[in-house]
């Protein structure tokens, strides 16, 4: 008798059958393909629409506008990291609960995670609206950049925080039940709309000089529409399964158990801290770069977005892998779990290797796609060729963190995240900047991630050994 049946929980919905087919029955490469391909596509689209802002603003050939938009990247990423609290924490927990055949508890966790995300994002929006100027000054906004950064923040953060976070959380929760395609369509929809609406607001609806405001309006509107799509998915699934769908806004499902709430935050908080430290690294890079010149900041802003291609694809691989790993870890099918992990790791390293080759060969062409300013292009080209060399190391680092999140081991993921950013990356920025100047900042990622990978492999090796001993005993 299964655990869920012993607790009197009902199984057998269309959602259950689809999940069993993907999580239990299909060969590992096929199951991973069904989960990973949609997430990779959505991550690429997210990257394109993030770069679209820089691309369209770059058409003005105004480095101040480019720098203003680039300066906000850490603030926006911090907003997304708040989504990890409920999205990753709740999503991985839901997959584990489903692996234990406990869909009723998974349902309770889902509404709790959704309302937590709404409350947190609303508070973030209020804080940004009140303290916008000191925050932007802290990020390094000069008088030339401030007006553009303020326009972008008002639209994307103050007005758009709640729909942005909620759509990201819903994407994670929907994916955790096996609906990877539906989750990715929502994220992709927001990205495609943003790409189309950017030039409409920038060059058609708004006058010259308000291009950054136009980008901000387009981004906010796109995220709102994506959020509405996820509402429709939740409604459609609930109607099809007669109110027994796992993802729900209905508080009548009951309060999740204390253990579940603890487990959600135990993974979600480290995930958010990891994202926060990642963004703090970007903030420090911006602060150090702007001390050299606004042109250096604009060049690094372009590179930090372009280098996200292999990173985002790697994240897509990890996001697609996580529900499979979490489900099979909880259900005790460790052979299938190990197969998923090995296949996903090989795929991620292959993507990183291909990106190195392409960026080394075509760096000048890629940079000119965003801006043709004579001073910015050569600087950004050199930055990109150096930064991309860290791609395999970066993937290996965050791949291990994602694995521990899948297992529900937030303490290990927190340890690795803090070590990576607070102990290795951020101090390395200051050390190499002091010793080698501007290019020391550029090379800091590769230098720090060499140490991070060594530590990550050691921690994961210790876990595997202990886990194997427990299994054999």
pLDDT tens string 405-463: 899 888 888 899 889 888 998 899 999 999 998 899 989 988 999 999 999 999 998 88
Q: What is the pTM of this model?
A: 0.79
- Cα(88)–Cα(168) distance, rounded to whole angstroms? 10
Specify the pLDDT at position 10: 45
End-to-end Cα separation, the chain, in angstroms: 24
Q: How far is the CA of 291 from the CAs of 55, 136, 286, in angstroms? A: 24, 15, 9
Specify the pLDDT at position 123: 93
Q: Grade residue 472 by pLDDT with cuts at 50, 70 and 90.
A: very low
* pLDDT tens digits along 79-94: 877 777 888 888 889 9
Q: How far is the CA of 240 from the CAs of 245, 247, 324, in angstroms? A: 8, 13, 24
Q: What value does the mean pLDDT take over residues 223-241?
A: 89
Token pair of 439 as six digits: 């290019």
In the chain, the percentage of residues whose pLDDT exceeds 90 is: 28
Answer whether residue 115 shows pLDDT above 90: yes
DSSP state of 27: -
Q: What value does the mean pLDDT take over residues 253-277?
A: 85
Answer whether residue 8 shows pLDDT above 50: no
- Per the CB < 8 A criterion, the answer to whether 234 and 170 are in contact is yes
Q: Which of 54-68, 140-154, 210-224, 234-248 has the lowest mean pLDDT?
A: 54-68
Closest alpha carbon to 193 in 212, 175, 220, 170: 220
Specify the pLDDT at position 350: 94
Answer whether residue 2 shows pLDDT above 60: no
* pLDDT tens digits along 412-427: 888 998 898 889 988 9
Q: What value does the mean pLDDT take over residues 35-48?
A: 82
- Cα(119)–Cα(113) distance, rounded to whole angstroms? 10
* pLDDT tens digits along 132-178: 888 888 877 777 788 888 888 898 899 989 998 999 899 989 988 88
Q: Grade residue 358 by pLDDT with cuts at 50, 70 and 90.
A: very high
Provide the mean pLDDT of the chain: 85
- Cα(267)–Cα(276) distance, rounded to whole angstroms? 14
Residues 6+ apart with CB under 8 A from 111: 248, 249, 250, 251, 253
Specify the pLDDT at position 393: 93
Q: Which of 6-20, 182-196, 225-239 has the lowest mean pLDDT?
A: 6-20
Specify the pLDDT at position 430: 93
Secondary structure string (H, E, C) spanning 145-204 = HHHHHHHHHHHHHHHCHHHHHHHHHHHHHHHHCCCHHHHHHHHHHHHHHHHHHHHHHHHH
Answer whether residue 473 shows pLDDT above 50: no
Q: What value does the mean pLDDT take over residues 64-75?
A: 76
3-state helix, strand, coil in the chain (%, to 5): 85, 0, 15
Answer whether residue 294 shows pLDDT above 80: no
Answer whether residue 332 shows pLDDT above 80: yes
Print the domain residue range for 137: 3-472
Q: Grade residue 470 by pLDDT with cuts at 50, 70 and 90.
A: low
Could you give the count of Cα atoms lying within 13 Å of 154 in the half-sphere of its Cβ? 11
Specify the pLDDT at position 12: 57
Q: How many domains does the chain have?
A: 1
Instruction: Dump the DSSP string for 373-435.
Output: -TTHHHHHHHHHHHHGGGHHHHHHHHHHHHHHHHHT-HHHHHHHHHIIIIIIIHHHHHHHHHH
Q: Grade residue 14 by pLDDT with cuts at 50, 70 and 90.
A: low
Q: What value does the mean pLDDT take over residues 181-209?
A: 86
- Per the CB < 8 A criterion, the answer to whether 86 and 268 are in contact is yes
Q: Grade residue 246 by pLDDT with cuts at 50, 70 and 90.
A: confident
């Amino acid at each position: 008798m299964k655990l869920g049946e012993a607790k009197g929980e009902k199984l057998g919905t269309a959602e259950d059958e689809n999940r069993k087919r993907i999580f239990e029955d299909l060969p590992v490469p096929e199951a991973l393909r069904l989960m990973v391909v949609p997430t990779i596509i959505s991550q690429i689209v997210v990257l394109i629409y993030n770069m679209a802002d820089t691309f369209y603003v770059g058409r003005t050939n105004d480095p101040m506008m480019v720098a203003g938009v680039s300066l906000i990247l850490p603030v926006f990423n911090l907003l997304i990291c708040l989504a990890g609290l409920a999205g990753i924490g709740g999503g991985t927990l839901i997959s584990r609960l489903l692996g234990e055949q406990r869909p009723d508890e998974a349902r309770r966790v889902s509404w709790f995670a959704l309302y937590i995300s709404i409350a947190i994002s609303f508070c973030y929006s209020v804080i940004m609206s009140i303290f916008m100027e000191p925050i932007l000054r802290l990020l390094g906004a000069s008088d030339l950049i401030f007006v553009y950064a303020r326009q972008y923040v008002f639209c994307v953060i103050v007005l758009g925080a709640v729909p942005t976070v909620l759509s990201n959380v819903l994407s994670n929760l929907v994916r955790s039940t096996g609906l990877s395609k539906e989750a990715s369509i929502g994220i992709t929809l927001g990205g495609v709309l943003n790409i189309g609406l950017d030039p409409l607001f920038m060059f058609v609806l708004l006058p010259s000089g308000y291009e950054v405001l136009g980008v901000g309006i387009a981004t906010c509107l796109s995220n709102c529409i994506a959020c509405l799509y996820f509402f429709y998915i939740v409604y459609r699934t609930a109607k099809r399964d007669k109110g027994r769908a796992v993802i729900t806004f209905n508080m009548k499902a009951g309060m999740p158990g204390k253990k579940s709430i603890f487990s959600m935050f135990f993974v979600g908080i480290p995930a958010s801290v990891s994202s926060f430290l990642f963004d703090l690294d970007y903030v420090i890079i911006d602060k150090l770069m702007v001390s050299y010149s606004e042109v250096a900041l604009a060049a690094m802003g372009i590179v930090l977005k372009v280098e996200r291609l292999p990173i985002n694809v790697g994240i897509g691989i990890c996001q697609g892998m996580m529900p499979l790993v979490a489900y099979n870890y909880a259900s005790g099918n460790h052979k299938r779990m190990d197969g998923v992990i090995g296949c996903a790791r090989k795929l991620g390293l292959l993507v990183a290797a291909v990106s190195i080759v392409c960026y080394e060969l075509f760096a000048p062409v890629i940079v000119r796609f965003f801006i043709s300013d004579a001073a910015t292009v050569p600087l950004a080209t050199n930055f990109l060729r150096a930064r991309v060399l860290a791609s395999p190391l970066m993937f290996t680092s965050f791949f291990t963190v994602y694995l521990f999140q899948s297992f529900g081991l937030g303490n290990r993921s927190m340890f690795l995240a803090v070590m990576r950013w607070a102990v290795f990356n951020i101090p390395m920025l200051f050390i190499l900047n002091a010793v080698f100047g501007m290019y020391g900042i550029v090379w800091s990622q590769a230098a720090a991630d060499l140490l991070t990978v060594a530590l990550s492999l050691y921690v994961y090796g210790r876990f595997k050994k202990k886990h194997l001993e427990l299994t054999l005993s």
